[in-house]
Amino acid sequence: MEQNIDMSVNLGGIRMANPVTVASGTFGYGQEYARLIDLSRLGAVTVKGIRLEAWPGNPLPRHAEVFGGMVNAIGLQGPGVEGFIRDDMPFLRKAGTPVIVNIWGTSIEEYAEVARRFSEVEGIAGLELNISCPNVKEGGHAFGHDPSTVSRLVAAVRRATPLPIMPKLAPNVPDITVFVRAAQEAGADALAMINTLPAMVIDIERQVPVLANKTGGLSGRGIHPVAVKLVWDAASVATVPILAMGGIFEPEDAIEFLLAGAKAVAVGTATFIDPSTALRVVDGIRAYMIRHGYASMADFKRVG
Ligand SMILES: Cc1cc2nc3c(=O)[nH]c(=O)nc-3n(C[C@H](O)[C@H](O)[C@H](O)COP(=O)(O)O)c2cc1C
């Protein structure tokens, strides 16, 4: 009976044996976690954000635990394209799991150039475009907060690569459907959501912000219902598959996303507490499918 269940999904050209990956920035580049869990049981490995050159990120402290989650301002520390290809790709290729590379840049041209470089690298299944980065040259706005910028950015990356591309939409916008339409009309193959929500923590005795960057992004359990609503809204107009994330700690949280209209899910902050969360989520989705007599992921329908 169990063997007849097909958990595979096609996430806009990224073929995954099951619908569960890890959220960018919470799993490094896979190597550390390979000692703790069997990477081949994941639907895909999604790595931390990479820009053209190596990037140091923000000064410490860069994260703070809060009720219901954590606030971080790592600042997209990373090895750059060449460092990642040299130090991490050989390992990831051997792991035998599809690799989703999260990319960013300080200009549209940089996103396109990073995408172009990765197109020539064997073993990359797709690119997730982090367009919720605050430090950009166009007026200081995050790319993801202006639909016409989203459109231009996605179109530029589309021209630069034949790889599947998946913009990661900013969650703090008035109407997510506008951004869904902009991204898919510009050539996105899939959409990822949600990124962290802007947040701040203050040390009341020292009377200073806790994070050196002053503000950061909230992730974890507390953002889960917000994410479910955004995915559900997005799925009402999406013609491409959605990768959902935000506070998945238990299989039930992931199943909620699948019933909100997502095709696949990513486990983020929970991995810091229990590195095997993503694998428990795979098992839990399978158990749910058995219980509900599902044969494939297509049996998950968006609730009305
Ligand atoms: C420490 C940390 C680092 C992150 N780094 C990135 C990143 O490099 N690129 C990106 O697109 N998202 C990044 N994120 C956002 C996560 O991928 C995810 O969208 C968010 O944390 C929500 O999922 P969660 O509540 O399960 O953690 C990061 C999140 C955390 C907590």
For 125-169, the pLDDT digits (tens) are 999 999 985 444 544 456 899 999 999 999 999 999 999 999 999
Tokens at 63, concatenated: 């994260």
CATH number at residue 93: 3.20.20.70
Q: Is 168 in the pocket of ligand 1 (CB under 6 A)?
A: yes
Give, for ligand 1, the residue of 63, 127, 253, 269 to mutate: max count of ligand atoms closer than 8 Å to Cβ.
Answer: 269
Helix (H) or strand (E) holding 66: strand 63-66
pLDDT given for residue 136 in this prediction = 43
Confirm whether 204 is domain-assigned.
no
Tokens at 110, concatenated: 């940089």
CB-CB neighbours of 47 under 10 Å: 25
pLDDT averaged over the chain? 95
- Mean pLDDT along residues 197-209: 97
Number of H helices, E strands in the chain: 9, 16
Q: Is 248 in the pocket of ligand 1 (CB under 6 A)?
A: yes
* Phi (first) and psi of residue 198, to 5 degrees: -55, 135
- Integer angstrom CA distances of residue 274 from 10, 172, 217, 267, 269: 27, 28, 21, 11, 9
What percent of the chain lies above the pLDDT cut of 70? 96
pLDDT given for residue 208 in this prediction = 98
- The confidence band for 282, taking pLDDT boundaries of 50, 70 and 90, is very high
- Give the integer Cα–Cα distance in Å for 154 and 167: 7
Confirm whether 154 is domain-assigned.
yes
Distance of CA 39 to the CA centre of its chain: 17
Distance (angstroms) between ligand 1 centre and the Cα of 1 equals: 36
- Give the tens place of pLDDT for each residue, 49-81: 999 999 988 999 999 999 999 999 998 889 999
- Mean pLDDT along residues 235-257: 98
Confirm whether 7 is domain-assigned.
yes
Task: State yes or no: is 30 an active-site residue.
Answer: no
Tokens at 129, concatenated: 């475009």
Confirm whether 107 is domain-assigned.
yes
pLDDT given for residue 140 in this prediction = 43
Task: Judge residue 10's burial from the number of C-beta atoms within 10 Å of its C-beta, 0-12 exposed, 13-18 middle, 19 or more buried.
Answer: middle
Give, for ligand 1, the residue of 32, 191, 195 to mutate: max count of ligand atoms closer than 8 Å to Cβ.
Answer: 195
- Give the integer Cα–Cα distance in Å for 289 and 19: 13
Q: Which atom of ligand 1 is nearest to the CA of 266?
A: 26
* Residue among 195, 282, 281 at smallest CA distance from 246: 195
Whether the per-residue pLDDT at 203 is higher than 60: the answer is yes
* Residue among 248, 278, 216, 286 at smallest CA distance from 42: 278
- The confidence band for 302, taking pLDDT boundaries of 50, 70 and 90, is very high
- Give the integer Cα–Cα distance in Å for 183 and 238: 10
pLDDT given for residue 123 in this prediction = 96
Confirm whether 234 is domain-assigned.
yes
pLDDT given for residue 75 in this prediction = 87
- Mean pLDDT along residues 84-99: 96
Count of domains observed in the chain: 1
- The confidence band for 295, taking pLDDT boundaries of 50, 70 and 90, is very high
pLDDT given for residue 141 in this prediction = 56
Q: Is 18 in the pocket of ligand 1 (CB under 6 A)?
A: no
Confirm whether 93 is domain-assigned.
yes
- Residues shown for the chain: 304
pTM: 0.97
Confirm whether 65 is domain-assigned.
no
* Residue among 174, 178, 125 at smallest CA distance from 150: 178
**Are 8 and 16 contacting, i.e. CB atoms less than 8 angstroms apart?**
yes
Distance (angstroms) between ligand 1 centre and the Cα of 26 equals: 6
pLDDT given for residue 294 in this prediction = 98
Range of the domain at 141: 2-58+75-196+220-299
What percent of the chain lies above the pLDDT cut of 90? 92
Q: Is 23 in the pocket of ligand 1 (CB under 6 A)?
A: yes
Residue nearest to atom 15 of ligand 1 (CA): 195
Residue nearest to atom 22 of ligand 1 (CA): 246
133, 186, 258, 264: the catalytic one is 133
Q: Is 245 in the pocket of ligand 1 (CB under 6 A)?
A: yes
- The confidence band for 171, taking pLDDT boundaries of 50, 70 and 90, is very high
Q: What angle do CA 33, 267, 132 make, to 5 degrees?
A: 105
**Are 99 and 123 contacting, i.e. CB atoms less than 8 angstroms apart?**
yes
Confirm whether 152 is domain-assigned.
yes
Q: In the 8-state DSSP scheme, what is residue 78?
A: B
Rg of the chain over all Cα atoms, to the nearest angstrom: 18
